[in-house]
Amino acid sequence: MPAQGAKSCYRAVVFLGPPGAGKGTQTRALAERLGVPYLSTGDMLRDHISRGTALGRQADAVVAAGELVPDELVNSMVGVWFKQQSDSNGVVLDGFPRTVNQARELDQWLGNNGPVVINFRVEYNELIQRLTGRRSCPQCRRIYNVYLKPPARDGFCDCDGARLTQRPDDDEQVIRERLAAYERQTRPLVEFYRQRTKFFEVDGNQPPETVTNQLCRILEGADVVCNQQ
């Protein structure tokens, strides 16, 4: 975490958008191009749940129901991660912040270097199709989609051959709850960030590579430089 006044080139990139908007897909692509670490609070919480930690036991039922985990639990979990990133020039954040309260906490950690915020817009029905069709590799965490981006061999990762899995909260009923939680608790955060200068919106309905290239152009304009691909 950058101390106040230190590392003036430090940049945090925050991805906002409803479940299924492509935040995880773009986070991995962009962190690679920027050469910085990334955080996925969803992955982190699922890891706690699978290991049965104290935090995982508190979060389990909340995540399964498609609701948001309380701010104090998420803030302290992410705070520990931030402290471990003191040597990096920036970070990409997927799934944090998700409430105005979490955004205020992030502001305190970042000091003078406010985040660059990207908001993805995607149609509701497209979100449902993306989430019901999503499959992930438990080893390398690559994301696939049985309808939109299938692996070469049905059910197995192209990269390491591991059997792909489906998230329990990608059940259609829970997806609708997650989308409702987004409207209630995260939509106000979009308006909070919209008032700021480093806020950008991206049409997330485009193909993933087009979105990544557009993100790089936006970030270069905001003085965050992507490596050429």
202 φ/ψ angles, rounded to the nearest 5 degrees: -130, 140
Question: Which lies closer to ligand AP5 via its Cβ, residue 112 or residue 210?
Answer: 210
Considering only residues 112 through 171, tell me which ones interact with ligand AP5, judged by CB under 6 A: 130-131, 133-134, 143-145, 148-149, 169
Number of residues that bind ligand AP5 (CB under 6 A): 38
Who contacts 28 (Cβ-Cβ below 8 Å, separation ≥6)?
38, 141, 142, 143
11 among known catalytic residues: no
28 among known catalytic residues: no
- Out of 13, 211, 224, 226, the residue judged to bind ligand AP5 by CB under 6 A: 211
98 among known catalytic residues: yes
Name the catalytic one among 28, 98, 135, 198. 98
Asked whether the beta carbons of 199 and 119 are under 8 A apart, the reply is yes
Name the catalytic one among 11, 46, 134, 142. 134
Question: Which lies closer to ligand AP5 via its Cβ, residue 113 or residue 186?
Answer: 186
Asked whether the beta carbons of 100 and 16 are under 8 A apart, the reply is no
Decide the pairing of beta strands 38-40 and 134-136: unpaired
Helix axes 41-51, 71-83, angle to 10 degrees: 100
Nearest CA-CA partner of 38 in 18, 56, 13, 59: 13
- Out of 10, 12, 13, 24, the residue judged to bind ligand AP5 by CB under 6 A: 24
| Interface region with ligand AP5, contact rule CB under 6 A, candidates 3-11, 80-88, 108-116, 207-215 | 207-215
Asked whether the beta carbons of 76 and 113 are under 8 A apart, the reply is no
- Out of 2, 25, 93, 105, the residue judged to bind ligand AP5 by CB under 6 A: 25
- Residue 101's identity, in one-letter code, is N
In the complex, what is the shortest distance from the CB of residue 96 to ligand AP5, in angstroms, rounded to a whole number? 4
The whole-angstrom separation of Cα 119 and Cα 103 is: 14
Q: Which residues are catalytic?
A: 23, 98, 134, 167, 178
Q: Which residues bind ligand AP5 (CB under 6 A)?
A: 17, 19-25, 41-42, 45, 62-63, 66-69, 74, 95-96, 98, 102, 130-131, 133-134, 143-145, 148-149, 169, 178, 204, 206-208, 211
